[in-house]
Amino acid sequence: MRDKEIAIIAYAELPNQRGSGKRPYEFGAEIMAQLIGRSGIEHSDIDGLAVISPIAEAGNTFYSIAMADTLGLAPRWSQVSDIGGCSPIGNVARAAAAIQSGQCEMVMCIAADASSAGVAGRRLGGFREEFMDPTGFQGPPIAFGVLSHAYDQQYGLSLEALGKLAVTQRNGALVNENAVSSLRKPITVEDYLNSRMIAEPIRLLDCVMRVDGGSGLLVTTADRAKSLGLDNVVYPVAYSELTNFGPDDNTPDITETGFSVVGPEVLEKASMSCSDIDMFQPYDDFLIAIMLQMEQIGFCKRGEGSDFILSNDLSPTGVLPTNTGGGQISCGQPGLGGGGVNLTETVRQLFGEAGERQVPNARTAMVTGIGFIPYLRNWGCSAAMIMER
């Protein structure tokens, strides 16, 4: 990818909704229509399909086949990624590898889910009944509450810094028509500090809202993009992924994540440093996750995340524009397709089509993913991708 031989030629994103009554297949059809309309390709040109593993289809071991059938596709290469919030960017990397190996030429990546579909949570992991529920460790807010306490004990955690992140992202959502309507309301740091406690110190405004929706990309070769007359494209130039960080450590520092490995690695692959990154679009299921990524990727030193956030402008015109469209926390999280929120915003910005929230002269970006939070261990999967225009 580093040589810019792979190109993203189109993006699509649907408005996030609550209780849409739709399934991922319907979202997939809408996404495909947008992608074909934006790129000008023919339906028959799509010969690769990469999808995330959605909550709404938990237990469906033939999901990619069913999606292809629904969309009338006959792909020569198919992929279902089940690495949680890493899946959308992971699918771009997998699509690039498939294209480079000659298995296909035009891959449609779909990250769609319907959180309101009502699939039982037990189908997502039976181990929870035995190892997590009896301890009261029920759900991501508790996991991040424990993590936040651990970080605070080691370094000190500024709630005002997290509040600033919340406000910055909400400002992006106010001018993002795809953000779920109930979150398109301004907030203040005081609103954040006074929001309802969920799992101390995690507050309501630290958390994502589960919604229905989806996004997608078309990935092909740079040569194919040129043959289509498309000169406004985005190049994924480096990718790094790590699953099950620190498996041999039975007493892990839970504030340490795979980003301490994949962050420096993806920068090295791209021959860049943090100062070369024009914008940062990190996976944000909780606000503290953004700060941990900033530290471990190298935007600031370990333990200095609060000071970095408080002393720097993270808006689209600031020193490190961060989650310019609102991120998942202020746009909504479309289930296990949530990483597509950050990914699509990255591509939109590099296309120069972000409107009021456009980052001036943006040429490079880093987008990340987080997949699964296990019991008192490090994040299940960490992934980062660097893109250029």
85-123: per-residue pLDDT in tens? 999 999 999 999 999 999 999 999 999 999 898 664 545
352: left (phi over 0), alpha (psi -120 to 50) or beta: left
State the Cα–Cα distance between residues 262 and 268, nearest whole angstrom.
Answer: 10
Within a domain: 156: yes
Within a domain: 260: yes
Q: Can you give the pTM of this predicted structure?
A: 0.96
* Shared-domain flag, residues 151 and 28: no
* Shared-domain flag, residues 279 and 339: yes
* Shared-domain flag, residues 10 and 157: no
| Res 119: pLDDT | 60
* Shared-domain flag, residues 324 and 247: yes
* Shared-domain flag, residues 280 and 143: yes
The closest of 184, 165, 189, 220 to 41, measured between CA atoms, is: 220
**Helix residue ranges per DSSP H, 175-221:** 189-194
The closest of 329, 317, 346, 122 to 215, measured between CA atoms, is: 346
Within a domain: 285: yes
* Shared-domain flag, residues 190 and 216: no
| Res 124: pLDDT | 55
Within a domain: 1: no
> Could you give the 3-state DSSP secondary structure of residue 268?
helix
> CATH number of the domain that 161 lies in?
3.40.47.10
Within a domain: 317: yes
In the chain, the number of structural domains is: 2
The closest of 197, 193, 246, 176 to 16, measured between CA atoms, is: 176
Per the structure, the complete domain to which residue 350 belongs is given by: 130-209+236-388
| Res 17: pLDDT | 97
Low-confidence ranges of the chain (pLDDT < 50): 120, 122
